[in-house]
Structures are given as C-alpha cells and as structure tokens.
Structure 1
Amino acid sequence: MDVSDWVIQCPKYTTFRINILKPFNSKKLQETLVNQSIELNAKHIPDYNCLKQDCLILSQWDEDVGVETSGIEVVVDAACAAAVLRGAHVFAPAVMSLTPNCKAGMKVDIYGDLEGKCKRGLKVPYDGEKLYVGTGILKMSRFELFDNGVQPKGIAIHTLLPASKLPVVNETMYPKGYLLLQNLPSIVCSWVLNAQADEYILDMCAAPGNKTTHLGEMSKNKAFIIAIDKTPQKVLKIQEKCEAHGVTCVTPYCFDSTKCCSEDSSGINGGPPFPPDSFDKILLDAPCSGLGQRPQLGKKVMSLNMLKSYTIVQKKLMTNAVKLLKPGGRLVYSTCTTTVDENEALVSWALEKFPNLKLIPAEPFHGGPGLPGVGLSDEQRVLVQRFGPEIDELRLVEEKYRDHIGFFIAAFSK
C-alpha cells in the first residue's frame, strides 16, 4: 500500500501505556469491554494483551459488530473526528454544527469536517466535504453548546461505536496518570533508550512529556532526567504530567536545545547549556513534519521549504546531542514522519558527519527495517526501525505491530 493511502486510514489497533508506578486494575478494562459488548450486541469482546508490563494493545470489534445510524448529523472538527476513529468521545469545543431539534439523550451520527469550513453553530445540514466517523449519544443540548454565552466543557457526545470499529476506551476510565493513550512506536522509542537507575538522561525535545514520564517510570524514579522545551507553556505541561504520573526524577528547563551544549558551562546542575560529554543517554525525539500521524483527515498542505526547514533543525539538534553524549553513551533519534530526508538520510548524514558515532540495534524491534536505496546499507537499515505500510523481507513484522502511526527510530553509541 502506498504511504499516502495508508496515512489517511485509521490504525486497526489502539495502544495505551500503563504507568508501572501505580496499580493497574485490569478488571476495570474487562468490565468496560463487556458492558460495551452488551450495548452493541457483540458476541465477543475485542482482543487485548500486554506486549510488556507497561504496554496494552487493543484490537477492533468483530466485523459483524455494528450500530444503527440515526440520520441526525453532528459535525465536529477534523482533529476530533480522527480522535473518534481512535475510540474517543466528543468533547464540547470540537462540535461545529447541530440541528435545532437535537436534545440530550438522542442518538446522533458524528461527521468530520474535512475542509475546515463548517461554521460553528450551523443549524442546517453541512454541505461541505465530510466523513462519517461514528455514532453516539448526545449529552448536551444545542443551547449548552452554542447559545448560552459560555465556552462549553466536558463530553458532548458519548461515542457508541467509531466507524473504525475500535473499542471506546480512553484515559478517563482511570485516575489521571494511571493510563496514557500513546502510539506503540512512541512507547517502543523509550524502550530503545532503556532508562536505568543512576543514569544521567537528557530528553532534548520533551513536550508534552509522554516519553519523559515513561523514562522516569522505567527507571522507577531512580534516573536523573533533564527535560527541555523552548516554550514556557509546554514546560509547564511537562511538569503537570510528571506530577500526575508520580514521576519525581525529572527536572524540566525552558531552553532551545539547538544551543544546549557549551564548552563554557560549569556542569549539569546549573541547567542548560551543558558541557560536552554530560549524559549517559539522550533522547532526541525531533520536531518533524508529522506526516506519519494517522488518520490524517484534514487537508494538510506543506511546502517544500517547510519540509526542508525540519532537516535543518534536526541536524542542529543532532550536532548538540552528539557533543553532549558521554563516550560509550546511547543516543536515540526518532520522528513521527515518513519522509526519507528526516529519517534514513538524516542517519546517513550523522554517520558521515560524526566519525565517533556508531549505529547500533534499535532494540527491541517491533517495526520494520529502514527503506532500501536511500543512504543506508542493508546492514545498517536492519539496525533501525521504520513503522509504516512497507513489507520488507529483511525483517517481517506482524500487523499488530506494524499498523500504527508512521514512525522512525535509530540508536547510536559514541
């Protein structure tokens, strides 16, 4: 399948990261799925299993499971529509249109606005390009959503069944910080870094803190983790996420990671910039074009200049990362995009630019090898992980590991 067709489809699996610092009640998940199966008149609940102690994978409902549509249309923005396909409820701010005769408790059909042209509060059926994404129960009246002069909050539509047939399971089932909706490749990325006690670890582009908290949880709060982002509001989000997850070993800083290495720095404790050879492990989850996100429902147009701008920043970040890594240390580079320039070509550039850098196996392997003929030899591309629609005999991957978002992971030692 061509990658452009693949990214507009919804993955067939949903993954959650389980916080191993907190007790996880698997019975609650079982009860939720059983209740949904009764509601949907399904014979079986979806398959689910833990790939590791901290990773839960859920599959779709059986093909014959369905729900009768209502004929009553509610339009939501494209981002919300994508979330519904992944098993989310509809939150009030995302609702764009609702006919006047709708009342709380009614069954409604959820459509995504693919063009972004639906005017908020529209009272008549939307005639722009739209996509059916699921059916649910309306929880708010039109007055509450549009007409009472207050920004609406909370769940506006309780999703019964997404068009993707993924189960409606989300973080709100558990106390905050216990369960996190996170794509499998992002979870694998932290496994590759493998945070351990007493290690000095740098997360160079840490917002929103998903991987940062995972690293803290993996180390059982015994690593020394520094998380950097250049936006104050995002740094605050990292702090809040750490607090919710019970992660106490992270020190966040607001700083530009393209400038986070300096020969004049006195040490780590004073904050960035840091002196060379400071960290045992570094995670560079680089800002990227994000073209691996799925499903991509809105019309996303990105200029060639914009695409090129990402590799410029990625190379600056990589240069700082190599300097900051201790000899013998591990550097993990990752993106959530599918472009060669930001992935295989970037790895090839780094190996040529920094002779002291060695490509090592990005284990554990759950993605396929890198693409052939784009700068990496077969011996090199089998060391990296690419998540996408490609099937490569060099390393075959089960569908339940392959059918997620587009992602790339490479690991280096110095």
Structure 2
Amino acid sequence: MEVLEDNDNNMKAWLTQAPKLTTFRVNKLKRFEVDVLKNFLIAQSKELDTTELPEFYFLRPDCLVLGPWPAVSLKKAGKEVIVDALCAAAVLRGAHVFAPGVMGLPVNCQLGERVDIYGDLEGHCKRGLKVEYTGRKLYVGTGYLKMLRADLFDNGIQPSGIAVHTILPASKLPVVNETIYSKGEVLLQNLPSIVCGWVMDAKPNECILDMCAAPGNKTTHLAEMSNDQATIIALDKTPQKAAKIRESCDIQGVTCVTAYAFDSTKCCSEDSIGINSGPPFPPNSFDKVLLDGPCSGLGQRPQLVNKITPKMISSYKFVQRKLFAEAVKVLKVGGKLVYSTCTITDEENEGIVAWALEKFPCLTLIPAEPIVGGTGLPNKGLNDTQRSMVQRFGPEDNELRKVDPIYRDSIGFFIAAFTKSS
C-alpha cells in the first residue's frame, strides 16, 4: 500500500480486510432455488457445531447477498500450512486452498487432519518448507488437509486440486461458491460489478459493445438483463480471452453474444461496412458501450501484498484514454457509455471523467443510475453536481449523500455514465 498517501490510513486498513458479505449474481435465464444454498449452509453448520445460519437475502432478483457466520469460532489446530498471499486472500473471501498456492507444510501431517492456514505476507517462504515459517504471516483460516507433501512437492509436476478443505476463514465468511448449483445458475461476483450491469440496463434489441470483456462476467449479465435478446459484441485482445468469454456464455446459457479477439483501441474505422462483419466497426454503431478497461486494480480486497508502483499506476490512464476515444466514436448519438474501474485512484476515475468531458464536447455526464455508491472525490476535477452523478465504492464518508453500509463494504470501484449528443 506504499502508493497511498500517509493520510489514507483508513483506506489502507479497509483494503487489507475482506468484505463482510459474499454476493452472487443469479442468472435470470435459468431456474434458481434458494433452498439449495440453505441446505448447503445447514450441512456446513453441523461441521461448525452451530445452529445459527448466515443471513442471506435478495438485494434484487439477480443479486443474492450472503452474510458471515454469526457467533462461530474454532480453536487453532496447531499445525500450520503456509500459502502465498493471493491464496490467503482467496481463503479470506471463502475459498478452499488449491495446491499451487501451498508453500509450506509440516512433514508429520495426516490426510483429514485439521490444520491452520497462514498467508506469507513477505513472499519469502520457499516452496516445500518443512519447518515452521518465521517470517511475517497472517492467520486466514482453518481446514482439513486433503493432500500430503508427496502430492504437493515431491512429484516434480505442478500439483492441482484442493490441498486444504477450508471450513472457516478468519473472516467468518461461508465457504461457498457457484459449484453448489448447476452450471450457470449463479456466479460469484463483486457487488459493484453487478451494479455496473444495472447501470448499463441492457434491453432487448439493443446493440451493445463490451470493449474489454474477458472473462465475460459483465457481458453475460448484460445478455441476461436483455433476456438474451440484445445484440452484444464482446472484445478482448487475445484469442485465449475471447475463448474465455465464449466459455462463460456457454455456461450461462447465453446466445446473443459474439466474441472477437481484437484490440479495442482500434475498434472504430470509417472503412468498416457494419458490425456484422466484425471489428473494427463504423462510427455510431452501438446503442450502449461498456468500457470496463484495464486499471491498476487497487480496489480489490483483501490486498495482503501489493507491489504496484506510482509509475505503473500512472501508465494506465494512457490506455484508458485511447479506449475511451474509440468508445465515443462507435457510440450512437443518444447512446449511453458506461466507464468503470476496480481501482480507487482519482487519476483513473474522476481524472478520466474530467478529461473526457473536456476532450469530447459531444459527451454529457448523466447520473449512473441506480445510484447506490458514494460520490466522486472532491477537488479532483469534478464539481459537486458532477460528483453526485458518478459512483465511487469505498469506505469514504460522503457529505453529498448517505450510502448503505452494504455498498461501502465490497471492493473499491468506480462507475460513470455518459450520453452522446452529436
């Protein structure tokens, strides 16, 4: 967190903590039964020796919120599994420990034995460690051992599969994911990312461009919102990413999306004959454009380790501006452009909005409705009216509007919406 100012201690603390809630996006194209989740939690409650279940409820028909376990605690087992920082962060969000994330494991452990999971905060633990790790570490949860040292370190090949079955993260979040349902019925997705889909508000028969679409989570949300009746073009730079978008669409049961491997900084051309021929596209082609572009990702939580530098952060605005310029070109007059990031820096958020309003007189900032997040930051290029039109998700106090706690405890995120007048 060295990139944050010294007076951002509240933000630093917030970023290192896991959100207190888990959110699922519910696929409205498929049948969903909430009792599947309830029965799964009942089974987990027996494992945790409690009769109280986490609270769960629908925020909207396509958004299910799941709270932490109430009044549950486990004594530490005494044997430590060391995992890398990314794996530790995933455990705090309610994930199992997968084999590639394991760095150290005592030699005397048995399959099925309860172990404590610790994250290596320095990145100094050497893979295959047999003794207790003495570097900076953080307890992130407890679980049952599913793989031994021979499986993890001694085969000479990259291991795969669940190494530790997490039963209770230190965050108390339930260990649950979309695999408890049939494929495509639900998707684990951060709440502001779901809100981004609500702001886009995809409708049947609209022509929509998702400029940086992989892995396809927002793309499929737009398709589902349109009842799979929009025409959605999804772009990303590599064939692998385009394939991932197609895979996401297949899983979600979406058919109205066409994915291309293409650089969106070059997605508009006067010489193009139409969107049906693929990118690049003619100017004024799309009713709506989503630009959820590359960013520094500083809104992700929990961030146990972050090595990004100020120079790296400053580099993102250049590609964001290139993408934005193309988005304006391909957007129809009267259309909607939604810009979003999963970062907290004003340079990539309010700064891009202020730049766009000055650079493109044809654009008008409009309220990014439904407005549920906080306002934009003050003194970062936007006046109070403009600040109230964008949404910033984070722990900041908002003097211009009150924000429900649920929207202050997800990840750092930013959403702005524009319309084109000429």
TM-score category of the 2 structures, normalised to the smaller one: over 0.9
Equivalent residues of 1:202, 1:283 under 8 A apart = yes
Q: Distance in 2 between matches of 1:123 and 1:22?
A: 47
The answer for the alignment partner of 1:21 in structure 2 is: 29
Equivalent residues of 1:61, 1:165 under 8 A apart = yes
Q: Distance in 1 between matches of 2:178 and 2:351?
A: 36
- Superposed, 1:164-203 pairs within 5 Å as 164-203=171-210
Asked if residue 141 in structure 1 is aligned to residue 148 in structure 2, the reply is yes
Q: Name stretches of at least 5 consecutive residues in structure 2 with no aligned partner.
A: 1-8
- Superposed, 1:1-40 pairs within 5 Å as 2-40=10-48
Task: Give the alignment partner of residue 163 of structure 1, picking from 170, 173, 188.
Answer: 170
**2:23 alignment partner, SS class:** strand
The answer for the alignment partner of 1:242 in structure 2 is: 249
- Superposed, 1:2-401 pairs within 5 Å as 2-62=10-70, 64-298=71-305, 300-401=306-407
Equivalent residues of 1:16, 1:181 under 8 A apart = yes
Distance 1:235 1:395, change over 3 A: same
Asked if residue 406 in structure 1 is aligned to residue 412 in structure 2, the reply is yes
The CA deviation string for residues 236-273 of structure 1, in whole angstroms up to 9 with x for no partner, is 11111111111111111111111111111111111111
The CA deviation string for residues 101-146 of structure 1, in whole angstroms up to 9 with x for no partner, is 1111100000111122222211111222211100001112222222
**2:275 alignment partner, SS class:** coil
Please report how far the alpha carbon of residue 396 of structure 1 lies from its aligned counterpart in structure 2 after TM superposition: 0.9
Q: Distance in 2 between matches of 1:147 and 1:19?
A: 42
Q: Name stretches of at least 5 consecutive residues in structure 1 with no aligned partner.
A: none
Q: Distance in 1 between matches of 2:314 and 2:238?
A: 22
Larger mean CA deviation between 145-154 and 102-111 belongs to 145-154
Q: Distance in 1 between matches of 2:101 and 2:302?
A: 17
Please report how far the alpha carbon of residue 42 of structure 1 lies from its aligned counterpart in structure 2 after TM superposition: 2.6
Amino acid at match of 2:121: L
Please report how far the alpha carbon of residue 43 of structure 1 lies from its aligned counterpart in structure 2 after TM superposition: 4.0
**2:355 alignment partner, SS class:** helix
Q: Distance in 2 between matches of 1:379 and 1:259?
A: 33
Please report how far the alpha carbon of residue 37 of structure 1 lies from its aligned counterpart in structure 2 after TM superposition: 2.0
Q: Distance in 1 between matches of 2:241 and 2:395?
A: 32
Please report how far the alpha carbon of residue 175 of structure 1 lies from its aligned counterpart in structure 2 after TM superposition: 2.4
Amino acid at match of 1:358: T
Please report how far the alpha carbon of residue 149 of structure 1 lies from its aligned counterpart in structure 2 after TM superposition: 3.6
**1:216 alignment partner, SS class:** helix
The CA deviation string for residues 338-384 of structure 1, in whole angstroms up to 9 with x for no partner, is 00010011101111111110111111122111111211111111111
Equivalent residues of 1:75, 1:113 under 8 A apart = yes
Q: Distance in 2 between matches of 1:6 and 1:150?
A: 38
Q: Distance in 1 between matches of 2:338 and 2:125?
A: 42
Q: Distance in 2 between matches of 1:43 and 1:167?
A: 14
Q: Distance in 2 between matches of 1:61 and 1:93?
A: 28
Please report how far the alpha carbon of residue 60 of structure 1 lies from its aligned counterpart in structure 2 after TM superposition: 1.4
Amino acid at match of 1:124: V
Amino acid at match of 1:383: M
The answer for the alignment partner of 2:3 in structure 1 is: none
**1:42 alignment partner, SS class:** coil
Q: Distance in 2 between matches of 1:22 and 1:158?
A: 29
Please report how far the alpha carbon of residue 176 of structure 1 lies from its aligned counterpart in structure 2 after TM superposition: 2.5
Q: Distance in 1 between matches of 2:10 and 2:156?
A: 46
Identity of aligned residues (%): 66
- Aligned residues between the structures: 412
Please report how far the alpha carbon of residue 231 of structure 1 lies from its aligned counterpart in structure 2 after TM superposition: 1.6
TM-score (ref. length: structure 1): 0.97
Q: Distance in 2 between matches of 1:12 and 1:73?
A: 25
**C-alpha RMSD over aligned residues:** 1.2
Amino acid at match of 1:23: R
Q: Distance in 2 between matches of 1:231 and 1:129?
A: 38
**1:7 alignment partner, SS class:** helix
Amino acid at match of 1:159: T
TM-score (ref. length: structure 2): 0.95
**2:276 alignment partner, SS class:** coil
Q: Distance in 2 between matches of 1:315 and 1:139?
A: 47
Q: Distance in 1 between matches of 2:242 and 2:134?
A: 41
